Amino acid sequence: MIKTILVGLDGSEHARTAMRYALWLGDRLSATVIGLHVVDIVSIEGSFFHDISGSLGFEPYLDFSSKMREVLHERGRGLLEEFREHATKAGVRFDTALSMGVVANEVAERARTADLVVIGHRGVNERFSTGLLGSTAESVTRKCLRPVLISTATFRPISRALLAYDGSERAASAMHAAAEFCIALSLPLTVLTVAKDSDSGEKVLGDARKYLASYQLDTQCVVQTGHAPERIVGYIQEHGFDLLFIGAYGHSRIIEMVLGSTTEYVLRNSGCPVFVNR
C-alpha cells in the first residue's frame, strides 16, 4: 500500500503536473506527500564558468560558487513554499525536503523511505534536451529502487489503467502493484500482452487471470500481435488510458543498469503517465 509519496520539484511545468498527480494520489490514498527540491550541484560546481574565464585570460570570480549556491537555495525554498500552499489547499498530509547534489542520485536516495516517486516527464532544462524523455527522469527511473510514476505535461484524473504484461518477473511485480493500486482507487484494469500469435499470448494471460482472480477487480485481458513497444503505445492512444503499469524491463534484460527497450520506448512515447515497477 502506498503511504508515502515523494515528488520532485524543479519549477518546470512538468514538475508542477507531477505535483498535482502526487497530491491527487495523496488525497485518495490517505498518503503523506513529500515535496523534494534538489539544488543541482552541477549548476554550482560545474566547469563552465571556469572554462569561460580561463579562455578569456582572467581568474574566476572566487565568490561565484557561494553566491550561486545562495541564489539556488533561495529559489528552492520558494518552490517548496509553493508546494506547501498547494498541499494545504488539497488537505493532504505533507512534508518538504531541500537538498543539494546530483539530482537523480538525491531523488533515488530519498526514495529509500518512500513507497512511490512521482517525477515530471521533462524538467526545467527540457528545451536543451535532445531526447524525448528528460535526462533526470530517465536517470531516476534507472537508479531508483522504488516504483516511479512519470507524469505527462498535463494533468488528467486517472480513471482507466492498463498493465503491459509479458510474463516476466518484473511484469509480475508490476501486476501486483497495479492490482493494489486499482483496488485502492476503485479503478478498472486492462491487461495487455503482445505476442507473436494469439495462442502464446493467451498462455501468458492465463497466469495473469489466475493471479488477479483473488482481487475484486473489474478486469479485461487483451492479446495483441506485432512489435511490443509500438503496440503498447498504439493501444494506449486508441483506447485513451490514463495510466500505464510496466516492469522496468522484461525478458530481454541485458544488465540491470539499462532499461529494457520496450520500457524505454513506452516511456518516451506513451502520452499518459507511466508507473514503472522494479
Neighbouring C-beta atoms of residue 220, cutoff 10 Å:
11
For residue 13, is pLDDT > 60? yes
Q: What does the alpha-carbon distance between residue 78 and residue 177 come to, in Å, rounded to a whole number?
A: 34
Q: What is the pTM of this model?
A: 0.86
In DSSP terms, 35 is beta-bridged to 7, 96
Domains, the chain, in order of start with CATH, read: 4-151 (3.40.50.620), 161-277 (3.40.50.620)
Dump the DSSP string for 129-173. -SSSS-HHHHHHHHH-SS-EEEE-SS------EEEE--SSHHHHH
- Residue found under cell 513529500: 34
Residue bearing the bigger pLDDT, 68 or 96: 96
Least reliable range by pLDDT among 56-60, 68-72, 160-164: 56-60
pLDDT at 122: 67
- What letter represents residue 161's amino acid? A
DSSP β-bridge partners for residue 119: 150
| Angle, in degrees to the nearest 10, between helices 169-185 and 198-212 | 50
pLDDT score recorded for residue 64: 56
